[in-house]
């Protein structure tokens, strides 16, 4: 059984997880509450495994983080006639009571928004709230901070990824899948091949879990999934992020690159075992500082694709960059180099989510 993380002070990996969630909220809330053009009337945040609100030394958990981040945006929401609802669920009665008490305290009671707190098993809460998420005039953010691995089943994942205007973040204990890949309880939830899992380096298992969830998305559906790996002691956990919109993906990736400036995907050196002394020397710069392996490989691959005239438009480059877990700024030096070496004609080649807006003129790539 999972250790109860609220009985002690949150550990470093929990604090990183909550920092990512908070940073993502900071980006997500203004997009949905302060946008110039609003296509939704209701904005909902769902925290399905909410906990009691704080750890044993008073660090805020996800529900209080949500309220704290929301309060500064309520004025914008009311100016746009958007109704904001926060939904919290926690199946442990004592934690549910604690959370309820905290949410009625003066710090969190103010403001024009709806607050619902339920004391249900996850699936019951999910089914109960699903029609709200599925309303055509709703925009949703879902946080699913489960213990273990079992709640985000294939069915739940497919339901979430079919929703409009919905981003989600869920937590999963990925190393459990590696350790117990052939155990019937894991096989019930993940249709994975034990031999394939055995080949994955232990510390990279969360990347594999991401690829598993990617395989559940139909190939013709534009959808963006990304991950952040977290190590706690010998265990590997991680967040899986999903959004139907590239702007959501860009914002999540910006959060991850701010936390992990080397690779944008872990709170530890996830590629460490792959860096040989030979590679180290090969990629050393004049000042002796070596570029991170992952960035170097990305730049080389992008350069090759551009030299082979693979992309026709800037939008294609933008989506390629995001789908590979990088940000537009990572493509800039490659584009600059190829302009200087007369592979690309001189132009701005601006990469941004504006390229994905309807009726926008999309610039072509001008090869020399």
* Min separation Cβ 15 and ligand SAM, Å: 10
Of the pair 121, 196, the CB lying nearest ligand SAM is at: 121
State how far the Cα of 281 lies from the Cα of 290, in Å rounded to an integer.
8
* Min separation Cβ 269 and ligand SAM, Å: 25
Within 207-320, strands assigned E span: 224-232, 235-243
Of the pair 55, 250, the CB lying nearest ligand SAM is at: 55
Of the pair 5, 339, the CB lying nearest ligand SAM is at: 5
Of the pair 11, 299, the CB lying nearest ligand SAM is at: 11
Of the pair 12, 301, the CB lying nearest ligand SAM is at: 12
* Min separation Cβ 92 and ligand SAM, Å: 4
* Min separation Cβ 115 and ligand SAM, Å: 16
Cα within 13 Å of Cα(185), Cβ side: 9
Of the pair 121, 301, the CB lying nearest ligand SAM is at: 121
Structure tokens at 9: 């002070």
Structure tokens at 105: 């305290």
* Min separation Cβ 4 and ligand SAM, Å: 7
State how far the Cα of 118 lies from the Cα of 106, in Å rounded to an integer.
20
* Min separation Cβ 355 and ligand SAM, Å: 35
Of the pair 45, 335, the CB lying nearest ligand SAM is at: 45
Q: What angle do CA 301, 307, 313 make, to 5 degrees?
A: 90
* Min separation Cβ 145 and ligand SAM, Å: 4
Using CB atoms within 10 A of its CB, is residue 178 exposed (0-12), middle (13-18) or buried (19+)? buried
DSSP-assigned letters across all residues of 94-161: HHHHHHHHHHHSHHHH-SS-EEEEE---HHHHHHHHHHHHT-TTEEEEEEE--SSS-SS-HHHHHHHH
**Which uninterrupted H or E stretch holds 84?**
strand 83-89
Cα within 13 Å of Cα(222), Cβ side: 12
* Min separation Cβ 132 and ligand SAM, Å: 18
Buried residues in 154-172 as b, exposed as e (16+ CB within 10 A): eebbeebbebbbbbbbbbb
Q: Which residue is nearest to ligand SAM (CB)?
A: 61
* Min separation Cβ 293 and ligand SAM, Å: 32
Those residues with Cβ within 8 angstroms of residue 338's Cβ, 6 or more apart along the chain or in another chain: 303, 306, 307, 344
Within 173-315, strands assigned E span: 224-232, 235-243
Of the pair 61, 246, the CB lying nearest ligand SAM is at: 61
> Site residues (CB under 6 A) for ligand SAM?
5, 18, 49-51, 61-62, 89-92, 95, 121-122, 145, 147
Of the pair 5, 217, the CB lying nearest ligand SAM is at: 5
Strand partners for 235? 232
């Amino acid at each position: 059984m999972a250790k109860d993380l609220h009985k002690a002070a949150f550990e470093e990996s929990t604090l990183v997880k909550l920092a990512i969630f908070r940073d993502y909220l900071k980006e997500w809330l203004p997009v949905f509450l302060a946008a110039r053009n609003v296509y939704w009337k209701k904005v909902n945040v769902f925290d399905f495994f909410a906990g009691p609100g704080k750890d044993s030394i008073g660090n805020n958990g996800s529900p209080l983080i949500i309220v704290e981040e929301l309060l500064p945006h309520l004025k914008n929401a009311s100016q746009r006639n958007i109704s904001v609802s926060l939904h919290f669920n926690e199946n442990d009665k004592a934690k549910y009571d604690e959370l309820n008490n905290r949410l009625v305290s003066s710090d969190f009671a103010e403001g024009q928004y709806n607050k619902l707190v339920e004391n249900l098993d996850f699936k019951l809460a999910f089914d109960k709230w699903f029609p709200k998420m599925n309303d055509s005039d709703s925009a949703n953010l879902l946080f699913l901070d489960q213990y273990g691995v079992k709640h985000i089943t294939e069915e739940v994942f497919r339901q979430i990824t079919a929703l409009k205007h919905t981003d989600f973040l869920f937590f999963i204990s990925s190393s459990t899948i590696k350790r117990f890949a052939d155990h019937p309880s894991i096989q019930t939830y993940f249709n994975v091949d034990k031999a394939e899992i055995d080949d994955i380096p232990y510390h990279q298992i969360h990347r594999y879990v991401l690829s598993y969830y990617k395989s559940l998305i139909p190939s013709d559906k534009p959808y963006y999934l990304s991950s952040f790996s977290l190590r706690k002691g010998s265990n590997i956990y991680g967040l899986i992020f999903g959004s139907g919109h590239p702007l959501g993906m860009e914002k999540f990736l910006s959060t991850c690159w701010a936390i992990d400036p080397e690779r944008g995907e872990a709170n530890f050196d996830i590629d460490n075992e792959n860096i040989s002394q030979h590679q180290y020397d090969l990629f050393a710069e004049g000042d002796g500082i070596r570029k991170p392996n992952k960035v170097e490989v990305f730049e080389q691959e992008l350069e090759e694709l551009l030299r082979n005239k693979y992309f026709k438009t800037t939008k294609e480059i933008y989506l390629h960059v995001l789908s590979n877990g990088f940000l537009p700024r990572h493509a800039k030096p490659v584009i600059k180099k190829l302009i200087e070496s007369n592979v690309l004609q001189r132009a701005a080649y601006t990469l941004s989510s504006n390229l994905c807006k309807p009726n926008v003129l999309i610039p072509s790539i001008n090869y020399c």
